[in-house]
Amino acid sequence: MSQEKKSHSFPPITECGAGGGEHGSIAADLDGTLLLSRSSFPYFMLVAVEAGSLFRGLILLLSLPIVIFPIYSSRSLWGHRSSSSSPLLVSKFYAADVRKDSFEVFDKCKRKVVVTANPTVMVEAFVKDYLGADKVLGTEIAVSPRTKRATGFVKKPGVLVGDLKRLAILKEFGDESPDLGLGDRTSDHDFMSICKVFAL
């Protein structure tokens, strides 16, 4: 299949459920696709408060009008220990936000991959344990080898959005494109367009 972007509109997720579990593999976005909420900010706030303090949460909240995703996501995880209970705490809140129609399609597939701009360390426990995904392709946060704490800096290639999601999927699947791609916004079209079937 050609890897150039599709310009036409994508069918709704509900159409993918017709015919049962015919899709062997799936690549799906998280926020707004497998989750109802399109915003990750409440979860970053939760991690900032739990891994830091109420003061850190207040600073994050006050800075919201002037910061962008890469800054607040990575800075909210600064000082976070990889062994911390934060991911498990966040998982409980994520579990209450699962989007039923897209999860039903996702759950029927044999090979399940989630591709997200969210930091892998923050969503991996939820995505694997609650959603049953095989792999999480997310933004990687640098960890200090000495302290084993998150530095607050994003590792290369950067925040996984747009074309970086497409490149991550190509690296993960190789020549065998995912059977199904699920997303919810224009920036997901890059990776959805290389899947055999796609939906919003």
Per residue in 131-190, pLDDT (tens digit) is 999 999 999 988 888 888 777 788 999 889 999 999 999 999 998 999 999 999 898 999
Q: How many CA atoms lie within 13 A of 19 on its CB side?
A: 6
Dihedral angle, C-alpha 174, 177, 183, 188, nearest 10 °? 50
Which is higher by pLDDT, 24 or 69? 24
Q: Is the dihedral of CA 164, 168, 173, 174 positive or negative?
A: positive
CATH for the 13-38+98-199 domain, from 3.40.50.1000, 3.40.395.10, 3.40.50.10420, 3.40.50.300: 3.40.50.1000
The CA distance from 85 to 15, in Å, is: 38
pLDDT at 133: 97
Q: What is the mean pLDDT of residues 93-103?
A: 91
Q: Which residue has the higher pLDDT, 102 or 63?
A: 102
